[in-house]
Amino acid sequence: MASLDVIEPEGPREGTIDLICDITDPSAVASAIERVRAEAGPVSIVVHCAAYQVISPFGRLDPESWARTFRVNVDGAFNVVRAALTDMQDAGWGRIVMITSSSQFAPPPGMTHYIASKGALTGMVRALATELGPDGITVNAVAPGLTATKHALHDVPPEHFETVRSRQAVPRTGEPSDIAAVVSFAASDDAAFMTGQTLLVDGGESRI
């Protein structure tokens, strides 16, 4: 699922359905979920990993940036989970994984709006875990540290990567595959007795 910024699919991949969807629009999300059902069957796993982030000191943060951050990061999660929930409840099995951020635990400056939105997702994870556990649905968060995604490599100065590495127990930059592996675990049968948790994947930078 894409955020407000349209991201062109890189091309069809075997076993996938590439969709462009504004997750802040409930009707667009509902239509996307219907297409997934039609082509792949009922939804059993939801991973919310769309995010909007800009760096701005709080005193200079404009209301639209604050609102857009929450529309994508929080409202988007609400829209996607709500649209897919009945499939999981009907099946008596489901996995919901929210991508949050290790920045909640060691907040850098200029990211109050982003961190607040990720904190909201953490609260949502805990509350949904309580509510949906009787339905056989687990709900967890995965909180990455600075990761060498295409976006981060383009926007984050190399010296910041170096600074973060110096604070980690594992002194290398995280890769997308590091995050994907933990998401895969959280979405698997192996994680059936884990819910309402935040899994930090930041090379030990946070150490909590």
Confirm whether 52 is a catalytic residue: no
Candidates 24, 47, 69, 114; catalytic one: 114
Tally of CB atoms within 10 A around 187: 20
Residue 97 and residue 140 in contact, taking contact as beta carbons nearer than 8 Å: yes
Q: Six-digit token pair at 158?
A: 């190399």
| Residue 115 pLDDT level (bands cut at 50, 70, 90) | very high
Residue 93 and residue 136 in contact, taking contact as beta carbons nearer than 8 Å: yes
pLDDT digits (tens, 9 = 90+) for 35-80: 999 999 999 999 999 888 888 999 999 999 999 999 999 999 999 9
119 φ, ψ (degrees, to nearest 5): -65, -35
Domain boundaries defined on the chain: 44-201
Residue 196 has pLDDT above 80, yes or no: yes
| Residue 9 pLDDT level (bands cut at 50, 70, 90) | very low
The CATH number fitting domain 44-201, selected from 3.20.20.140, 3.40.50.720, 3.30.565.10, 3.40.50.10860: 3.40.50.720
Task: Please give the DSSP secondary-structure letter assigned to residue 206.
Answer: S
Average pLDDT over residues 91-116: 94
* Residue 50 φ/ψ region, left for φ over 0, alpha for ψ in the -120 to 50 degree band, beta for the rest: beta
